[in-house]
Structure 1
Amino acid sequence: MSATPAWPPKSAPRLFVETRLEAGLHLPVEGQQAHYLGKVMRIAPGDAVMLCDDLTGEWVARVAEVGKRAVILEVERRTRPREDVPDFWLCAALLKKPNFDLVLEKATELGTGRVVPVVTRRCVADKLNPERARTIMIEAAEQCARTALPGLGEATRLDHLLRNWPRERVLFFADENGGMPVAEAFAAHKGAAAVLVGPEGGFDEAERAAIRAHPAAVAIALGPRILRGETAAIAGIALWMGLNGDWKP
């Protein structure tokens, strides 16, 4: 006798939706999400779709109907509660579009709680399309099976960021000129935290001095090499998650 296939299957497509989910809900999915389910994933009535609402967690739904413009899903049960997101922010200077896209994607996959784009004097970009950025983060969250989305702050100038910084949150400053060894710094400062990384050309001397003078700032060294902005962001998040975040057993 053959074994009963696992339900829901691990291959079931995943979507974030704006509707608060509950058992028995009939949810119409339209637009790009309907196209993805119907044309890309080629789902059929009876198939499973995993849903998250960024409020209650992860739910399994069954496809009730596949139409030309909409897919109707019937929500069955919750499979996981919304994850506890570590209180960790990434404050990343804006980079060239493909590089910052990578930062948004990997920050989401690594479990960051909030991303704050920062404008500095040496930034090659000074604007961010929030809708596009949000789409990148949602797609990354769906891919890595997160049940919560990171927050996304407005692009803000460095001086404004420092002036309005919450004093209870430590600001780890990835300084290419060196600082406290990263593992030592993270071990010494628990609780709410953020890491600040610079643009392609780095921070200028006035910016570096202003950051170091801030009472919440702790300059850190991310190893013996000078890292690209996107590499520094990914490395900083990964190290914090391993030492202070939700990667620990």
Structure 2
Amino acid sequence: MPSTHDPKTPAWPPRSAPRLFVEDRLAQGAMVSLEGNQANYLSRVMRAKPGDAVILCDDATGEWVARMESADRRNVTLTVGERLRPREDVPDFWLVPALLKKDRFDLVLEKATELGVAAIHPVVTRRCVADKLNDARAQTLVTEAAEQCARTALPQVAAPVKLDALLAGWPEGRVLFFADETGGDPAAGAFASAAGPAALLVGPEGGFDDAERAAIRAHPQARAIALGPRILRGETAAIAATALWMGIAGDWK
């Protein structure tokens, strides 16, 4: 059937419309006021002007198109129009990465968000070079990544915990795939054979020490996996294994 869209009529909203997550719960006809960095981004960086479309998400109701009513670099006002999509259901998959150097962990946060994880639970191990996470910076990184890749649901970013506390409080019914550099079941087969909620534990630059490895392997929910014949950096292992899980058991199937 031929398209009924008039090629001379611009699509609404245009594909180039900027995307932002906002704190307000959205509804058709609501007025949204943005200040600070978001106002500056729309008015100065994107050069949006009254009448332009902006895509808004609230991490609750989904994705909406809004029309800019007024703008300057300090304040932007928009009117919410129709809802474009409901909030997405993401696979019940947690990434549990050991803390890395800041730039490398930034990459993990960004790519895990793009790949579709539901939650990121940082863990502190004996060989970690960092033991703290800037919560505000982490939230900004995952929010910007979600805006870039058109997610409508933000991943939860938990506060870092030590490995022993993580294992002690691990929820029943969630398999904990453990990327063990000393070997384990091939990752692809392990992901394909395990149903239900899942998580992936990945170590720091120096790996896990013997006592940590023994404690993880002894946990009833843990399953050691191997990520191929090469030694991977922490960020590479986290990103590659997450992509593999999404392709086999997640929403890439």
State the TM bucket, normalised to the shorter chain: over 0.9
Corresponding residue to 2:113 among 108, 119, 122 = 108
Partners of 2:95 and 2:73 in 1: how far apart?
A: 41
Confirm whether residue 204 of structure 1 aligns to residue 199 of structure 2. no
> Could you say what secondary structure the match of 2:65 adopts?
strand
> Could you say what secondary structure the match of 1:137 adopts?
helix
How is 1:75-86 mapped onto 2 (pairs within 5 angstroms)? Answer: 75-86=80-91
Q: Which amino acid letter does the alignment assign opposite residue 165 of structure 1?
A: W
Confirm whether residue 141 of structure 1 aligns to residue 143 of structure 2. no
How is 1:11-50 mapped onto 2 (pairs within 5 angstroms)? Answer: 11-50=16-55
Q: Which amino acid letter does the alignment assign opposite residue 130 of structure 2?
A: A
Partners of 2:232 and 2:14 in 1: how far apart?
A: 40
Q: 2:181·2:226 contact (CA, 8 Å) conserved in 1?
A: yes
Correspondence for 1:222: 227
How is 1:170-209 mapped onto 2 (pairs within 5 angstroms)? Answer: 170-209=175-214
Aligned residues: 248
Partners of 1:2 and 1:234 in 2: how far apart?
A: 40
Partners of 1:3 and 1:151 in 2: how far apart?
A: 42
Q: 1:237 to 1:2 in 2, by over 3 A?
A: closer
Q: Which amino acid letter does the alignment assign opposite residue 188 of structure 1?
A: S
Q: Compute the displacement of 1:2 (Å).
A: 5.8
> Could you say what secondary structure the match of 2:55 adopts?
strand
Q: Deviations over 1:204-238 (max 9, x none)?
A: 01000000000000000011111000000001110
Q: 1:64 to 1:180 in 2, by over 3 A?
A: same
Q: TM-score, normalised by structure 1?
A: 0.98
Correspondence for 1:231: 236
Q: Which amino acid letter does the alignment assign opposite residue 88 of structure 2?
A: E
Q: Which amino acid letter does the alignment assign opposite residue 20 of structure 1?
A: R
Partners of 1:68 and 1:49 in 2: how far apart?
A: 16
Correspondence for 2:3: none
Specify every segment of 5 or more residues in structure 2 that has no aligned partner in the other structure, as ranges.
Answer: 1-5
Partners of 2:189 and 2:73 in 1: how far apart?
A: 57
Partners of 2:149 and 2:72 in 1: how far apart?
A: 28
Q: TM-score, normalised by structure 2?
A: 0.97
Correspondence for 1:64: 69
Partners of 1:224 and 1:10 in 2: how far apart?
A: 42
> Could you say what secondary structure the match of 2:67 adopts?
strand
Q: Compute the displacement of 1:67 (Å).
A: 2.9
Q: 1:222 to 1:48 in 2, by over 3 A?
A: same
Runs of 4+ in 1 over 4 A off after TM superposition: none
Q: Compute the displacement of 1:187 (Å).
A: 1.2
Corresponding residue to 2:136 among 131, 136, 139 = 131
Partners of 1:175 and 1:3 in 2: how far apart?
A: 57
